[in-house]
Amino acid sequence: MNKLAACSTSCVMRIINILKSRLVSHSPLALAHHVTSLCNARCKMCDMWKRSPRHTDDLSREDIFAMLDDAKEAGMIGYIAWGGEPLLREDLPELLQFAKKKKFLTMLVTNGFLLAERCKEIAPFTNLIYISIDSNSPLHDEMRGLEGILKNAIDGIKACKREKIKITINSVISNLNLDEIDGLCELSKELDVPIVFEPMQIVSEHNRHLKATDEDLKVAFSKILKYQRSGYKIDSCTEYLQNFSKQKKYVCHTAKCYVTIDAHGNITTCSENKKWGNVKERSFAEVFDSMEFKEFCRKAEKCNKCDVSCVAEVSLAYSLNPRFVLGSIRNLL
């Protein structure tokens, strides 16, 4: 009963914080934290692993606890651990446990290579895990530059299901895996796990040549929509999937939803281009209350260059776009 009462209190607190942020302060509600820049994969579409040698500069556990205390003070309610590969960080369970104790909703984004091995350690402290799988064939190992990663990710999903952790597969579409959509949808069905899709973002010269053309994305996302309509567990919102075939625009609200903290503690928004100081030197409240941050959020509303889910789909959700809301309800049902 006490547990139930505590749970209801934290739900009410979260709703209050959401309303406060949405209607009054317009401050971000979540932090996406690169818990380490170390990575065990060598992905063709991502260049973060190139920063691996600098992982000794990652924030310490104590720094992260202080950052979470400060985030709580600033009214944030979501903690997303990613990287680099978050499961390479030994003390990840302690970080998630601390966040959970502070009543954050906790999420993990992982390539799944070490998931089966470490799943029991994180299970009690993790609300949702996104597992990255971009192909249900040997192409996945090739794209990620890590032999055995597809098998391990699938074993990880099965282990998470046994531990009753909520899981979603995250697939990034580039011109390397345009033909893999059928296989990915079938994998989701076979494992009975939802799947979401988004296009690859150009991060540097490392992956520019892999960006699929608008026309290819249109075909790919129309196919994904068909799978969704025929009952496959495609959890991407319908309105977001339709953006690729109908060239619809959105108003960018990302900076009002979450900030990204890099492995060294720099507070960033907007694909990490805009830096707001370091968590060791500046509080979140100080950043969010500054005129400069508010002005940045206003200006960002005029931009809609990004098509990745963490920008376009998040912005549609923030806008409470009626078709988005209906699409979300339909997906939930």
Ligand X SMILES: C[S@@+](CC[C@H](N)C(=O)[O-])C[C@H]1O[C@@H](n2cnc3c(N)ncnc32)[C@H](O)[C@@H]1O
Binding residues for ligand X, rule: CB under 6 A, are 39, 45-46, 48, 82-83, 85, 109-111, 132, 170, 172, 200-201, 203, 207, 308
Looking at the Cβ atoms of 74 and 307, the one nearer to ligand X is 307
Closest CB 85 distance from ligand X, rounded Å: 4
Cα dist from 323 to 31, 136, 223, 267, 316, whole Å: 27, 31, 20, 32, 9
Q: Check: CB of residue 286 under 8 Å from CB of residue 71.
A: no
Closest CB 130 distance from ligand X, rounded Å: 6
Looking at the Cβ atoms of 46 and 96, the one nearer to ligand X is 46
**What does the block give as tokens for 41?**
């994969």
Looking at the Cβ atoms of 140 and 233, the one nearer to ligand X is 140
Q: Check: CB of residue 169 under 8 Å from CB of residue 188.
A: yes
Count CB neighbours of 26 within 10 A. Answer: 18
Looking at the Cβ atoms of 108 and 267, the one nearer to ligand X is 108
Q: Check: CB of residue 29 under 8 Å from CB of residue 17.
A: yes
3-state secondary structure 52-92: HHHHHHCCCHHHHHHHHHHHHHCCCCEEEEEECCHHHCCCH
Closest CB 19 distance from ligand X, rounded Å: 30
Looking at the Cβ atoms of 82 and 288, the one nearer to ligand X is 82
- What do you get for the CA distance between the two ends of the chain, in Å? 29
Between the CA atoms of 19, 20, 21 and 24, what dihedral angle is there, to the nearest 10 degrees? 120
Closest CB 7 distance from ligand X, rounded Å: 29
**What does the block give as tokens for 205?**
């010269």
Looking at the Cβ atoms of 75 and 156, the one nearer to ligand X is 156
Closest CB 93 distance from ligand X, rounded Å: 17
User: Which distant-in-sequence residues (6+ apart) come within 8 Å of 40 by Cβ?
Assistant: 85, 88, 111, 113, 114, 146
Closest CB 262 distance from ligand X, rounded Å: 12
